[in-house]
Amino acid sequence: MKTICLYFEIHQITHLKRYRFFEIGSDHYYYDDYANEQAINEVAERSYIPALKALIEMARDNGGAFKVALSISGVALEQLEIYAPSVIELLQELNATGCCEFICEPYSHGLSSLISEECFREEVERMRNKVKDYFGQEPKVFRNSSLIYDNEIGGVVASMGFKGMLVEGAKHILGWKSPHYLYHCAENPELKLLLRDFKLSDDISLRFSNSEWNEYPLFADKYIGWIASMPENEQVINIFMELSALGMYQPLSSNILEFIKALPVCAKQKGITFSTPTEIVTKLKSVDAMDVPYPVSWVDEERDISPWLGNVMQREAFNKLYSVAQRVYLCDDKRIKQDWDYLQASNNFRFMTTKETGVTLDRVIYDSPYDAFTNYMNILADFLARVDALYPVDVDNEELSALLTTIQNQELEIESLTAEVEELKKELERAGHGGLKREVFSSNSKKSKKHKK
């Protein structure tokens, strides 16, 4: 039986302001609050709110037969908290239907997976906890920024306990294979891979309202008919896109939401179901390993990382930012930590691309990639100076590594002591010795303090 895995991603740009060279050292606030508020309210009104209401309606009207997956970046969640809390309320309402799975992605929507495993792990765990706090779900499936993936990244994700990962079904990694099967990571077969069908996904997110498209107008019965006509043994159809495709890229006047709402009805008539990513990776068996030696993404025709790191400017900014990663990791300054998240966001590097793709790139306040590079580097210069003020450059990497090792050892010791306390609690509860319980915990408390010293 065929099943559709429908997934939407939520991420919003944190707009940087015009930042001049002479402001370095005197102005430590880098953001255009007006542009951020205007942008998030626009996308909420035109896309997120009507789209989420449609998904909630679909979940309630189809008696559990319709299922959907969502992910949201931490920086987008922060903006929604400030400017559009009603979107978060709708996300929680959708979660309450029991038909939505929230999956995890990097907090910053950045590119740390390409350069720093330590940074990558830290922000993924932070986002994992955020999802649990907001929606009560423990994410079991992971989605990297812009679906960036290779064998090494897959190995790291598997080691973090994820059971599945969303990956672009790029032609150059599939070869003759079909994206309509479940695959697994070449480095760790425990991590299952769901490959995006970019044609079916882009038919909705990019082409739906294009009157010059040879399939225009597209109706739900025709779309489901394409899926039903696929070979019988091709069981998994992964349709992944940004939520903003519904209302922004494809305007509501194009009847995009009516099309989406009709999909479960038409699918049921053809015997096609909807499944969440976790249901697929736990119920189906992988047919083969997917070998991806070089990073792939869902952006541009090449499906690689060139949109962010394809020229000298991008690589210079990227390497300069991550040159202070260990120092940022050590600090406890909340402003530094927040700026670090916002400066990591992948769109900062995308604005610097000189690549001709045939697709218009909105550079927002920037006139050119060189303008974007100059503005970002001015901000980065100020940020680096602030980090260096906390941890001067004369503190070499060996000393930083020693500090990090000490911190990690302390964390492990605390975890060990916590586990010991929990085990003692259980033993004493089983024994039922109330007086002994107080005595042991008093002794253990002293031991914990001694360890900390």
Q: Amino acid identity, residue 301?
A: E
pTM of whole model > 0.75? yes
More confident residue, 436 or 62: 62
Nearest-CA neighbor of 208 among 196, 192, 219?
A: 219
Does residue 346 register a pLDDT over 80? yes
pLDDT digits (tens, 9 = 90+) for 103-119: 999 999 999 999 999 99
Residue whose C-alpha is closest to residue 46's, from 202, 245, 262, 260: 245
Please give, one letter per residue, the 3-state secondary structure of 291-328: CCCCCECCCCCCCCCHHHHCCHHHHHHHHHHHCCHHHH
Neighbours of 156 (CB within 10 A): 18
Helix ranges (H only) for 136-254 are 151-159, 171-174, 198-205, 220-228
Mean pLDDT of 148-154: 98
User: Quick one: pLDDT at residue 250?
Assistant: 97
Q: How confident is the model at residue 1 (pLDDT cuts 50, 70, 90)?
A: confident
Q: Percent of the chain, pLDDT > 70?
A: 89
Strands 250-251 and 192-196: unpaired
Rounded to 5 degrees, what are φ and ψ at 127? -70, -35
Per residue in 238-249, pLDDT tens? 999 999 999 999
User: How is residue 163 annotated by DSSP?
Assistant: S
Task: Determine the pLDDT at residue 5.
Answer: 98
pLDDT in tens, 65-118: 999 999 999 999 999 999 999 999 999 999 999 999 999 999 999 999 999 999
397 or 92: which leads in pLDDT: 92
Rounded distance, CA 237 to CA 417, Å? 46
Question: Percent of the chain having pLDDT more than 90?
Answer: 80
Q: Tell me the average pLDDT across 255-281.
A: 97
Cβ-contact 344, 111 below 8 angstroms: yes
Q: How do strand 192-196 and strand 182-185 relate by DSSP bridges?
A: antiparallel
Q: How do residues 10-57 score in pLDDT, each as one tens digit?
A: 999 899 999 999 999 999 999 999 999 999 999 999 999 999 999 999
Distance CA 320, CA 317 (A): 5
Would you say residue 341 has pLDDT above 90?
Answer: yes
CB 353 within 8 A of CB 369: yes
pLDDT of residue 305: 96
- Number of H helices and number of E strands within the chain? 19, 12
